[in-house]
Amino acid sequence: MKSGAGILFSIILSVVASLTHAQVKETIVNERFYANYLNWPEDAVTDYSSSVSNGSYLLKYNKATGSRSFDISTDLNPGANFFIETSGRATQSSKDSGFGIVWGKGRSGFFSFVVSADGSFFVREARADGNNKYLVKRTASKSIRTGGQVNKLRVQFHPEVFEFFVNDVFVARVPFHKFYGDNLGVILYGRQEVEISNFGVFGSRKDIVNQKLVKLTIATYAINDNVDTDGSKLGNNNACINPGENVKMRVSLKNTTNFSSKSLKASVSCDNPNIKVYEQNKKITLPSISKNDVANLVFTFYVVGGYADNSVSFKIDIFDTDNKLTETIPLKVPLNTALPVIDNKDNNATFSLNIKDRPSDDVNTGFPTTFFHNDDTYAVIIGVENYSYLPQAQFASNDAMIFYNYLVKVLNVPRNHILLVTDYNASKATIANFFKVKGRLSNLMTESPETILFYFSGLGSVDPQTGAPYILLSDSRANNAPTSGYPVSEIIQSIHGFRPKSAICFFETSFSGVTRSGEAFDKNGGTFWNLPTLPAISSANSEMALFYASAGEQANPLHEPSQHGLFTYCLLSAIKNAAFSNSTLNMKNLFSIVSRDMMKECTKRGITVVPKLDCVNKEVITILK
């Protein structure tokens, strides 16, 4: 029990905190995550994923150790009173994992205030030189809610001190530390999935703005592969970057802040030893750039004949008037893809690149840039690798996340048009809520959407009485697919009810009741004696295309090098190759390519797995237009 003095001290702290809170009036960020106007990071890769969706910022970190921050830049004045606040919950976590607020982040370090699943918190300073330290060591607190409940965190500053609150309860105080940079956001430590419902920054903005605060982004880029300004021959004039030719590229750098930049400098470099930049790290002065204006940076590069990769990456470093590095802007250039063409005017700087041969067929990287428009396309993506009551479906989460990347980065489907769930978040109730009348998918869409895409990777089984196929979700159980699984027929019926002009469903599963290694887990699964009865497509639902990894009774093998199911690997390869060659890909062509590539691989292994396509309008329904 606290003494009278202790109680009085706590009351004083609460009053001081409330007064400080009240003095902070200006709203700098008040994010509810209904749309991503502030450009929060959104991505899906092997180690982590993040997406803004329907009032939540969904974050996942897949590594047992280390951390990942998801942050944005602000012009918060660190010398005046402010507070940063967020609310969120860990939907899946390990004992030592935690999430919280990251602030003062720059190239040299950051600060973080984190609550853990075990009911403890800590405050940490991390530095790029490795000299990290805990400002507050891991400490237990009764104010932290455990078991997946929502926690509200606040970092508050008033002269000379930071104070930390969990669910409006004061937990710690440390002296003020100078910021490393202007970024702040959310950070995850250790393997977990987190749902953030809001994020706010309240205080005052910087009165005096220096060049370090200017932020440039790549607005557009275009190429010239015809004739240079001096009359020299560049490339073959087909508006593509092809191996064996010289190409000039103009990159437009846009000022996205509210103030003008003056005397910034830029340099181009590349960390890849196969790429030689002749003016490596040469600093070129950029013209002044007003708010929302652009400055053009122009460079010329040569692609060695026989270069087999689909893209090349390099970086643009921006320096302030004191020659201090303020930001690094990555740029990936697609090859063999039609690009906008420029003339030879307004060339501000020239760099030369020599790109050496570096073959790669990795479907997980090097996403081609395309100009397809899918603004009225919507998607549901499900990947269940880890089940509560069933064996693991190896690589299923990676299948789903990389398919998501292809939709966003290649097909240009808006991120907020996609529902992505993996592992334990992909329960039967969640999927049912996607497809029900006035459910989550319905709330995303226009009245008559252009296209709906559905993708599932995981385990499958059948109804032993009817042979009807079911996808199995994270909480499904063996030997009772009709009760705990989700029927394929209901997915088709729901999508048809939304009246899209076209709909494509991909099933990276078999319905044979076996794992991806071929071990039986469901005695009711489809066999040669109990074949699944796959739903039939007729003229009544001619907008549908159903693409299965196998005819139903076969297992769906893995493609170990890419960490995908074989069907998904062949599917992504077909999309990637078609995008790079700027080709149309309808269901007839797609099925032909995937079948051919799967057959080649399966023949090598001495197995027989045949994909199946059910579609009335194979040449009309397209995934690349």
Residue 11 lies in a domain: no
CATH at residue 431: 3.40.50.1460
Give domain status of residue 362, yes or no: no
Closest CA relative to residue 381, chosen from 325, 457, 472: 457
For residues 435 and 500, state if they share a domain: yes
C-alpha to C-alpha distance for 320 and 266, rounded to whole angstroms: 9
Instruction: Quote the pLDDT of residue 277.
Output: 65
Is residue 332 pLDDT above 60, yes or no?
yes
Examine residue 7 and state whether it is found in any structural domain, yes or no: no
Cα separations in angstroms, 274 against 303, 354, 472: 11, 8, 45
Instruction: Please name the residues in contact with 488: beta carbons below 8 A apart, sequence gap of 6 or more.
Output: 468, 469, 470, 471, 507, 534, 535
Cα radius of gyration (the chain)? 27
Pairing of strands 502-508, 544-548: parallel
Q: Extract the tokens encoding 160.
A: 């000379």
If asked whether residues 177 and 303 sit together in one domain, one would say: no
Dihedral of the alpha carbons of 404, 406, 407, 410, in degrees to the nearest 10: 160
The verdict on 446 and 494 lying in the same domain is yes
Taking 80 as the threshold, does the pLDDT of residue 220 lie above it? no
Q: 365 lies in a domain?
A: no
Residues 288, 416 within the same domain:
no
**The pLDDT value given to residue 439:** 86
The listed range with the strongest mean pLDDT (1-10, 45-54, 128-137) is 128-137
Between CA 329 and CA 110 the distance in angstroms is 19
Neighbours of 242 (CB within 10 A): 16
State the total domains in the chain: 3
Instruction: At 387, list the tokens.
Output: 């089940």
List the one residue out of 543, 538, 421, 410 whose CA is nearest residue 471.
421
| pLDDT tens, position by position, 485-507 | 999 999 999 999 999 999 999 99
Measure the CA angle with vertex 102, ends 98 and 104; round to 5°.
Answer: 155
Residue 213: strand, helix, or coil: helix
Domain assignment of residue 433, yes or no? yes
Sequence-ordered strand ranges (E) for 371-411: 377-383
Same domain, 223 and 174: no
326 and 459 part of one domain: no
CATH code of the domain containing 348? 2.60.40.10
**Overall average pLDDT of the 357-373 stretch:** 65
449's CB contacts (< 8 A; 6+ apart) are 376, 377, 378, 498, 499, 500, 501
Q: How confident is residue 375, by pLDDT bands cut at 50, 70 and 90?
A: confident
- Tell me which of 267-276, 281-290, 413-422, 595-604 is least confident: 267-276
Residues in CB range of 438: below 8 A, 6 or more apart:
none
pLDDT at 350 (0 to 100):
41
Residues above pLDDT 90, as percent of the chain: 36
Q: Is residue 444 part of a domain?
A: yes
Check whether residue 306 and residue 441 sit in a common domain: no
pLDDT for position 354: 43
Tell whether 34 and 70 lie within a shared domain. yes
* Selection from 423, 409, 426, 399 nearest residue 571 by Cα: 399
- Residue 290 carries which side chain, given as an amino acid letter? S
Q: Could you tell me if 274 and 408 lie in one domain?
A: no
Is residue 235 located within the same domain as residue 180?
no
Convert the pLDDT of each residue in 233-246 to its tens digit: 888 888 888 877 88
Residue 12 lies in a domain: no
Among 144, 178, 203, identify where a domain stops.
203
In a domain, 597, yes or no: yes
Give me the domain span that covers residue 157.
Answer: 24-203
State the DSSP string of 453-517.
EEEEES-EEE-TTT--EEE--TT--TT-HHHHSEEHHHHHHHHHHT--SEEEEEEE--SSSB-TT
Mean pLDDT comparison of 20-24, 258-262, 466-470, 513-517, highest-scoring range: 466-470
Quote the mean pLDDT of the chain: 82
Question: Over the stretch 48-70, which tens digit does the pLDDT of each residue have?
Answer: 999 887 788 999 999 999 999 99
**Nearest Cα residue to 402 out of 43, 95, 70:** 43
CATH of the domain at 185: 2.60.120.560
Q: Are residue 306 and residue 393 in the same domain, yes or no?
A: no
CB-CB contact of 524 with 516 (8 Å):
no
Query: Residue 526 in contact with residue 467, Cβ under 8 Å?
Result: yes
- Tell me 211's DSSP state: G
The pLDDT score that the predictor gives to residue 272 is 63
Predicted confidence (pLDDT) per residue in 174-216, tens digit: 988 888 888 999 999 999 999 999 999 988 776 433 444 567 8
Residue 84 is predicted with a pLDDT of: 94
- pLDDT tens-digit series, residues 567-582: 999 999 999 888 877 7
Paired with 296 in beta bridges are 252
What's the whole-model pTM score?
A: 0.52
Q: What is the pLDDT of residue 10?
A: 45
Compare 55 and 7 and report the one with higher pLDDT: 55
CA 92/CA 58 separation, integer angstroms: 12
pLDDT tens digits along 11-27: 444 444 444 444 445 77
Closest CA to 552 of 525, 583, 586: 525
Instruction: Write down the pLDDT at residue 170.
Output: 93
- Least confident among 311-325, 338-352, 540-554: 338-352
Q: List 183's β-bridge partners, or say none.
A: 73, 105
Handedness of CA 618, 620, 622, 625 (dihedral sign): positive
Q: How confident is the model at residue 529 (pLDDT cuts 50, 70, 90)?
A: very low
Bridge partners of 266, per DSSP, are 284, 318
Q: Is 167 in the same domain as 28?
A: yes
